[in-house]
């Protein structure tokens, strides 16, 4: 952004006045302008709050979110397992509105014009922006599971990989299942949202069966060669806690589904379940595809790690699960929150005529419940590396729990309270 376009500079100058620009230039200035954020999840809510907080209200922020409330994916497996309710994982946007002065609009963005710097809403209106943040999460590649393309099929064979109505529906399917039934969960090839999430879900469904339907089974159909996260800790939980209940099958990619009989079609085999939970392969949310920004493998957004800005399209920053990840970086809510702060800092610098921070750091922590109380974690720290122009995991830092334990079960719930407040309160 060193070569700030004259047009942009005039826009900033016109909004903030010459004095503000002069201060910005001197390094202590207050940024100003209008940032539109698309998507109010872990990434979008965080960037909206931090832009307002760090600019002390100098930057106007509009957040466009299609849902009326925030519903958390992390902790949603406890709703499926029966320990928590939807109310426990649902939070309003009123904190962003009232405390932080974010304009929250419930709508869908249908188009982005990167040249005119406008977004069009489904409701018919359009908004102009100085900087745009897309935090759209993922959408599913239904072509990879052809029988699930239609809405009716999708209402029978659930993913429950976006917390919301499907979370409730999957819980209901499990409650309705007879004892002695089989629940099968399929995992797509990495990268996918929340690497340990499917294994956690398998544990919590097995925990429910152990208590309420002890003749029932959980089968994990994993398209990957091996357990993708916390392998030793998950396999130990399955053998210690759920022997005879959980069965893990690697290299078992689901190619299609026979919806009427809850049957997963694998490459050489079929698997019939009573409750079939298919997590299809995913890619950056639809709006990233519609906006014309550069994608990697036609799936994930290519970004500059100093600013989270698209490598192809100036003025558009992209966060969270939608991006092509840095080496070993998971697609997680915690990481999306960290992206939001990195982007907020960079955007405020850019709006006041400064370079983004040349040495950003992000870190991840992810807790998984293996039963109603015991938890295991994985953590990592990622520092910017100028040579590779990406954030690299710090060697010797991070790691996993020594063993599942109840202390981390309490910490995991404390983590949720704090990160939800960090985004929304």
The site for other proteins (CB under 8 A) is made up of: 2-4, 6, 9-10, 13, 18, 21-22, 24-28, 49-50, 53-54, 334, 337-338, 341-342, 345, 349, 353-363, 365, 377, 379-383, 394, 396-399, 401, 405, 407-408, 410-411, 413-415, 417-419, 421-422, 425
- Specify the residue, 84 or 159, whose C-beta has the smaller distance to other proteins: 84
What DSSP designation does 366 have? E
Shortest reach from residue 402's CB to other proteins, in Å: 9
| Interatomic CA distance for residues 98 and 112, integer angstroms | 28
- Specify the residue, 111 or 425, whose C-beta has the smaller distance to other proteins: 425
Shortest reach from residue 84's CB to other proteins, in Å: 16
Question: Residues 274, 177: contact at Cβ < 8 Å?
Answer: yes
Shortest reach from residue 199's CB to other proteins, in Å: 19
> In the numeric block, which tokens belong to residue 352?
């006041």
DSSP string across 9-52: HHHHHHHHHHHHHHHHHHT-PPP-EEEEEE--SHHHHHHHHHHH
The HSE-up count of residue 20 (CA atoms within 13 Å, CB side) is 20
- Specify the residue, 82 or 393, whose C-beta has the smaller distance to other proteins: 393
- Specify the residue, 3 or 151, whose C-beta has the smaller distance to other proteins: 3
Cis peptide before 191 (omega within 30 of 0): yes
Rounded to the nearest 5°, which phi and psi values hold at 135? -130, 65
- Specify the residue, 311 or 357, whose C-beta has the smaller distance to other proteins: 357
> In the numeric block, which tokens belong to residue 25?
């230039």
- Specify the residue, 4 or 126, whose C-beta has the smaller distance to other proteins: 4
| Interatomic CA distance for residues 222 and 247, integer angstroms | 11
| CB atoms near residue 131 (< 10 Å) | 26
Shortest reach from residue 197's CB to other proteins, in Å: 17
């Amino acid at each position: 952004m060193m070569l700030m376009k004259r047009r942009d500079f005039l826009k900033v100058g016109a909004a903030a006045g010459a004095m503000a620009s002069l201060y910005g230039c001197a390094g202590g200035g207050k940024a100003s302008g209008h940032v539109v954020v698309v998507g109010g999840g872990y990434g979008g809510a965080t960037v909206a709050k931090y832009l307002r907080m760090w600019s002390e209200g100098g930057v106007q922020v509009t957040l466009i979110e299609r849902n009326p409330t925030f519903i958390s994916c992390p902790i949603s497996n406890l709703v499926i397992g029966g320990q928590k309710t939807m109310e426990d994982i649902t939070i309003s946007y009123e904190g962003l509105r009232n405390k932080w002065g974010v304009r929250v609009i419930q709508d869908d963005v249908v188009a982005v014009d990167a040249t005119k710097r406008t977004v069009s809403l489904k409701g018919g209106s359009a908004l102009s922006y100085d900087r745009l943040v897309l935090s759209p999460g993922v959408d599913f590649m239904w072509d990879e599971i052809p029988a699930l393309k239609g809405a009716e099929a999708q209402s029978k064979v659930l993913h429950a990989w976006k917390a919301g109505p499907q979370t409730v529906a999957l819980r209901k399917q499990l409650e309705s299942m007879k004892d002695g039934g089989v629940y099968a969960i399929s995992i797509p090839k990495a990268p996918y949202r929340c690497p340990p999430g499917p294994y956690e879900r398998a544990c919590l469904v097995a925990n429910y069966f152990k208590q309420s339907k002890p003749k029932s089974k959980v089968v994990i159909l994993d398209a990957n060669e091996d357990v993708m996260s916390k392998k030793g800790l998950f396999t130990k939980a399955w053998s210690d806690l759920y022997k005879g209940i959980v069965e893990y099958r690697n290299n078992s990619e689901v190619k299609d589904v026979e919806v009427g009989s809850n049957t997963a079609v694998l490459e050489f085999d079929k698997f019939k379940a009573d409750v079939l939970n298919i997590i299809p392969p995913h890619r950056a949310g639809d709006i990233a595809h519609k906006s014309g920004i550069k994608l990697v493998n036609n799936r994930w957004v290519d970004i500059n790690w100093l600013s989270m800005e698209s490598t192809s399209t100036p003025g558009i920053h992209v966060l969270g699960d939608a991006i092509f990840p840095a080496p070993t970086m998971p697609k997680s809510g915690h990481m999306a929150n960290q992206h939001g702060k990195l982007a907020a800092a960079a955007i405020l610098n850019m709006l006041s005529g400064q370079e983004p921070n040349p040495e950003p750091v992000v870190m991840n922590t992810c807790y998984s419940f293996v039963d109603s109380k015991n938890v295991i974690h994985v953590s990592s720290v990622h520092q910017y590396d100028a040579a590779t122009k990406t954030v690299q995991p710090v060697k010797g830092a991070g790691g996993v729990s020594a063993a599942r334990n109840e202390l981390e079960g309490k910490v995991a719930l404390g983590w949720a309270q704090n990160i939800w407040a960090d985004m929304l309160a």
